[in-house]
Structure 1
Amino acid sequence: MDELVDILDAEGNFTGKTAMKSEAHKHGLFHPTVHVWFYTKNGKILLQQRGKDKDTHPLLWDVSVAGHVGVGESYELSATREVSEEIGLEITTSELEKIGVFKSIQKHNENLTDCEFHHTYICELKVPLSQLTKQDSEVEALSLVPLLKFSEETWGLANLKKYVPHSADYYKTIIKAIKKKL
């Protein structure tokens, strides 16, 4: 779905300009996104397998929930909206813990360059996996994976064909933040 997004400069500051998401991707314009990583108290992390029809990284495993921030939308409200849309879970902004902002540039092809600032949160998953409802157009599958296994598979990007290729520092930050909560 195309949507209007705020355009940022290379440092993540608002420029006062907006564009459709498709135009931002076509021209490599920086824009904000939200990432929400869910974890359980027994040391598991919720992973989302990206939909088979996604333009980027179809069927790879990724962040529990992610999405673009609409024009003028707060990061926290965007995060709760995306959680509701993608996995059918209602959470409050107070349940989110922001752990960082990550600059990401990924050139997929001549007409698609993701230049994004990922506003990244962790949140405890307090319901069983069976109570989540995936958005079929975005999400192929959901899985709870032991944090140790996830750490082994992402640190150093040892399993490139399984996960979306975020930086090793990004994955380490997520894992360390969740470990502090356990």
Structure 2
Amino acid sequence: MDELINILTPEGKSTGKTALKSEAHKNGWFHATVHIWLFTSDEKILLQKRTATKKVFPGLWDISVAGHIVAGEDILTSAKREIFEEIGLQLKEKDLIKIGTRIHQVSHKNGIIDNEHHHVFIAELKVPVSELKIQEEEVDSIKLFDLDILKNTKNLENVLLPRFHDYYVSIYDKIIKYL
């Protein structure tokens, strides 16, 4: 979906301008996203398999839930909206624990230039995966993996990306500290 998003400075400040997501990706304009990592009390992590039609990282097992913050939307509202849209789970603001903001800059072979400020959250998944309903346009499937997968992605095919290993380890560390 080509949403209207706020354009940011490289430092993450508002420029007061908006653009379509496709324009931001074409021109490499900075913008904000949310990443929500859902874990269970028995040290599992929910990952989603991106659909084969996604323009970036198709078919990859990836972050539990992620998405762009639309223009005029606050960060927590965006996080809750994305969780509900992608996996049908309703969380309250108090359920979301913000663990940081991460600058992400990647140029993809298809011409998309991702210059993003990821607002990163963790939250405990307290319902069975069978009760979740995926957004089929975005998500191929969802599955619980052992939390250790965040530390051991280097030799796995199609599960997360080894080049972001340090990021995944930081998520693992925050979840373990929370548990």
In the alignment, does 2:158 pair up with 1:179?
A: no
Aligned-partner SS, 2:18: strand
How many residues align? The count is 179
Residues in 1 aligned to 2:173 and 2:141: alpha-carbon distance in whole angstroms: 25
Q: Percent identity?
A: 47
Q: Which runs of 5+ in 2 are unaligned?
A: none
Aligned-partner SS, 1:91: coil
Q: Is the 8 A contact 2:61 2:158 kept in 1?
A: no
Please report the RMSD computed on the Cα atoms of aligned residues, expressed in angstroms.
1.4
Q: Is the 8 A contact 1:36 1:64 kept in 2?
A: yes
Q: Is the 8 A contact 1:27 1:111 kept in 2?
A: no
1:125 partner amino acid: L
In the alignment, does 2:167 pair up with 1:170?
A: yes
Residues in 1 aligned to 2:102 and 2:150: alpha-carbon distance in whole angstroms: 19
Deviations 1:128-165 (A, max 9, x none): 01000010000011010111233212xxx444643245
- 2:120 corresponds in structure 1 to 120
Residues in 2 aligned to 1:33 and 1:3: alpha-carbon distance in whole angstroms: 12
Structure 1 segments of 4 or more deviating over 2 A?
Answer: 157-162, 164-169
Aligned-partner SS, 1:109: coil
CA distance change for structure 1 residues 71 and 165 in 2, over 3 Å: closer, same or farther? farther
Deviations 1:152-182 (A, max 9, x none): 12xxx44464324562331121100110122
Q: Alpha-carbon deviation of 1:30?
A: 0.5
- Range with bigger deviation, 107-116 or 91-100: 107-116
TM-score, scaled relative to structure 1: 0.93
- 1:71 corresponds in structure 2 to 71
TM-score, scaled relative to structure 2: 0.95
